[in-house]
């Protein structure tokens, strides 16, 4: 029987073209550990670039975890780079200290440092792609690990062939095929002794769990690979729906606003993905759990127009009438403090506004559309002051004959609940004569009998308020 010879070069070219992993003129940075997977990928990419013209560079991190063995790996990678005539970017990192200072596992810490280094080199040296040697067995092992931990559909698809500039050209290749190809081409590599230690969960799955599954079904890996293909198709459908919806999102520096009605109409899975993407953009360290989504789902299903949920990492989810807002912006603490204002410029520090009071003898020919400028009958005004909303406040809005509660006025204009206690109110004595930015009191408007005019201009200042929840 003829010996099986895997066509890694042809299959890698096929995946590269199908997924547009590399195009002519790209500059590819390969993360090279010195192990069989990455060293074989180096051999294959060096051949592939003869057909698809691209530049190739090598990056290696010495994790300083295995003493002499780590130094041996570093020396091997340096020699390999020299043999191929490729530029080598090298970093020595104290992964153990990094892990201890952040409460991470060694594997998690190593991964963080590795990708940080690869991104850093790509940015500074102009690489357009970063290649890693993840293979189909890595994909299957990740699937099993996440299945054990209770991952959803999104997580089960695990490792994509391309994400941003990260590419994985071996993702459809089994480890056994890589080993056969390396043997056939006499590819020299180094062994990492820690790969045999089953104290690490991935190694435990690889050496203990996988053989048990294969004992039940020798074609277990192929079945999981087929299932992963189906899950990826499902995920692609969900991702397309998510991307289409995200066009409706409004992004600001510290918050993202999405319209509630179309959001409610999405599939539950798509809603989760929308939330996960927004959370990742606002607070990358936050890991959204299904319980967080259940809280948000309960909030948006409520008939109450103003609700807020506080989440980890300083995140807040706010339902404000027809919008859902995800934000990391701190909420200013409401204050009922009252401050007198006089003729001239007045700074109201706790509201971050300047109030300019001017006395005029003639009304303007045209009234500005600026909602922060208002005119009053000066003879009706006395003892001016500024404060914010208090329960029971009332006003007779311009054009109305009856007083209304400020609360009802705010509700009618769909002003968010947490904003109401930060809207400046101008008072004459005990009466509210202006909801700044919204409406003056009808009893203080200019009439044909007005002789003296008060012009009040409010300007927001850039001075941040020190008071937060």
Pairing of strands 250-251, 255-259: antiparallel
CA 452 vs CA 360, 361, 363: distances in Å: 6, 5, 9
Q: Which ranges of 307-405 would DSSP assign to H, the alpha helix? A: none
CATH of the domain at 309: 3.30.465.60
Q: d(Cα 293, Cα 297) in Å, to the nearest integer?
A: 6
Q: d(Cα 160, Cα 20) in Å, to the nearest integer?
A: 13
Q: Is residue 225 part of a domain?
A: no
Q: d(Cα 20, Cα 31) in Å, to the nearest integer?
A: 19
Q: Is there a single domain that holds both residue 257 and residue 155?
A: no
Nearest to 421 by CA among 337, 311, 335: 335
CATH of the domain at 123: 3.40.50.620
Q: Is residue 107 part of a domain?
A: yes
Beta-bridge mates of residue 31 = 59
Q: Is residue 310 part of a domain?
A: yes
Q: Is there a single domain that holds both residue 140 and residue 197?
A: yes
CA 73 vs CA 142, 247, 357, 399: distances in Å: 25, 47, 75, 81
- Residue 89's pLDDT is what? 97
- Residue 419's pLDDT is what? 81
Q: Is residue 402 part of a domain?
A: yes
- Residue 462's pLDDT is what? 59
Q: Is residue 51 part of a domain?
A: yes
User: Contact, 356 vs 456, CB < 8 A?
Assistant: yes
CA 268 vs CA 290, 296, 317, 319: distances in Å: 11, 12, 17, 18
Where in the sequence is the domain holding 306, given as residue range(s)? 248-327
- Residue 469's pLDDT is what? 44
Q: Is there a single domain that holds both residue 20 and residue 111?
A: yes
Q: Which of 299, 327, 355 is the last residue of a domain?
A: 327
Per residue of the chain (469 residues), give pLDDT as tens.
334 557 899 999 999 999 999 999 999 999 999 999 999 999 999 999 999 999 999 999 999 988 999 999 999 999 999 999 999 999 999 999 998 888 888 888 888 999 999 999 999 999 999 999 999 999 999 899 888 877 777 777 767 889 889 999 999 999 999 999 999 999 999 998 877 777 778 889 988 999 999 999 999 999 999 998 898 888 889 999 999 999 999 998 889 999 999 999 999 889 988 998 999 889 887 877 778 888 999 999 998 888 889 888 889 999 988 999 999 987 666 566 889 999 999 998 888 899 999 999 888 877 777 689 999 999 999 999 999 998 899 999 999 989 999 999 998 888 887 788 889 999 999 999 999 999 999 999 999 899 999 999 999 875 444 444 4
Q: Is there a single domain that holds both residue 297 and residue 369?
A: no
- Residue 47's pLDDT is what? 95
- Residue 285's pLDDT is what? 77
CATH of the domain at 402: 3.50.40.10
Q: Is there a single domain that holds both residue 50 and residue 192?
A: yes
Q: Which of 300, 327, 354 is the last residue of a domain?
A: 327
- Residue 5's pLDDT is what? 56
Other beta carbons within 10 angstroms of residue 236's beta carbon come to: 11
> Cα angle at 310 between 308 and 314, to 5 degrees?
130
Q: Which of 272, 302, 327 is the last residue of a domain?
A: 327
- Residue 107's pLDDT is what? 84
Q: Is there a single domain that holds both residue 37 and residue 149?
A: yes
Residues 6+ apart with CB under 8 A from 198: 204, 207, 208
In total, how many domains does the chain have?
3
User: Contact, 452 vs 378, CB < 8 A?
Assistant: yes
CA 427 to chain centre: 43
Q: Is residue 73 part of a domain?
A: yes
Check: pTM over 0.75? Answer yes or no: no
User: Contact, 31 vs 132, CB < 8 A?
Assistant: yes
Q: Is residue 1 part of a domain?
A: no
CA 293 vs CA 172, 270, 273, 302: distances in Å: 33, 12, 10, 14
Q: If you ran DSSP here, which 8-state letter would residue 468 be given?
A: B
Nearest to 323 by CA among 300, 293, 303: 300
Q: Is there a single domain that holds both residue 289 and residue 347?
A: no
Q: Is there a single domain that holds both residue 345 and residue 437?
A: yes
- What the block records as the tokens of 228 is 């992963």
- The CA radius of gyration of the chain, in Å to the nearest whole number, is 32
Q: Is there a single domain that holds both residue 37 and residue 120?
A: yes
Q: d(Cα 95, Cα 101) in Å, to the nearest integer?
A: 10
Residues 6+ apart with CB under 8 A from 71: 62
Q: Is residue 333 part of a domain?
A: no
Q: Is there a single domain that holds both residue 318 and residue 345?
A: no
Q: Is there a single domain that holds both residue 83 and residue 182?
A: yes
Helix or strand holding residue 29 (H, E): strand 27-31
Q: Is there a single domain that holds both residue 347 and residue 443?
A: yes
Give the DSSP letter string of 37-93. HHHHHHHHHHHHTTTS--EEEEEEEE-S-STHHHHHHHHHHHHHHHHHT--EEEEE-
């Amino acid at each position: 029987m003829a010996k099986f010879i895997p066509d890694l070069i042809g299959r890698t070219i096929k995946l590269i073209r199908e997924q547009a992993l590399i195009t002519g003129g790209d500059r590819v940075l390969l993360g090279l550990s010195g192990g069989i997977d990455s060293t074989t990928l180096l051999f294959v990419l060096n051949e592939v670039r003869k057909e698809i013209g691209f530049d190739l560079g090598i990056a290696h991190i010495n994790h300083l975890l295995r003493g002499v063995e780590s130094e041996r790996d570093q020396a091997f990678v340096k020699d390999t780079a020299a043999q191929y005539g490729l530029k080598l970017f090298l970093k020595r990192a104290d992964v153990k200290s990094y892990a201890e200072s952040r409460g991470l596992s060694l594997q998690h810490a190593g991964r963080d440092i590795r990708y940080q280094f690869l991104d850093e080199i790509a940015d500074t040296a102009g690489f357009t792609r970063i290649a890693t040697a993840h293979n189909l067995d890595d994909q299957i092992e990740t699937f099993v690990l996440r299945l054990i931990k209770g991952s959803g559909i999104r997580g089960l698809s695990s490792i994509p062939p391309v994400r941003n500039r990260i590419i994985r050209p071996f993702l459809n290749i089994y480890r056994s095929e890589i080993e056969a190809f390396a043997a056939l081409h006499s590819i020299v590599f180094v062994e990492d002794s820690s790969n045999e230690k089953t104290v690490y969960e991935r190694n435990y799955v690889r050496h203990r769990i996988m053989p048990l599954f294969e004992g039940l079904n020798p074609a277990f890996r192929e079945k999981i690979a087929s299932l992963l293909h189906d899950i990826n198709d499902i995920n692609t459908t969900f991702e397309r729906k998510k991307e289409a919806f995200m066009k409706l999102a409004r992004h600001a520096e510290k918050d993202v606003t999405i319209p509630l009605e179309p959001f409610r109409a999405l599939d539950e899975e798509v809603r989760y993905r929308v939330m996960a993407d927004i959370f990742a953009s606002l607070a990358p360290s936050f890991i959204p759990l299904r319980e967080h989504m259940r809280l948000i789902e309960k909030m948006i299903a409520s008939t109450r127009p103003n609700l807020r949920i506080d989440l980890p990492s300083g995140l807040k989810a706010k339902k404000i009438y027809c919008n859902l807002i995800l934000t990391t912006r701190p909420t200013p603490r409401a204050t009922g403090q009252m401050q007198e204002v006089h003729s001239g410029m007045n700074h109201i520090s706790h509201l971050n506004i300047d109030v300019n009071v001017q006395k005029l003898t003639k009304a303007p020919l045209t009234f500005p559309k600026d909602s922060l400028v208002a005119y009053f009958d000066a003879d009706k005004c006395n003892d001016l002051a500024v404060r914010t909303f208090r329960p029971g406040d009332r006003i007779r809005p311009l054009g109305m004959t009856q007083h209304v509660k400020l609360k009802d006025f705010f509700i009618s204009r769909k002003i968010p609940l947490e904003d109401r206690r930060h809207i400046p109110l101008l008072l004459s004595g005990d009466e509210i004569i202006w909801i700044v930015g919204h409406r003056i009191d009808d009893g203080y408007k200019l009439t044909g009998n007005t002789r003296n005019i008060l012009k009040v201009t409010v300007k927001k200042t850039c001075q941040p308020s020190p008071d937060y929840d």
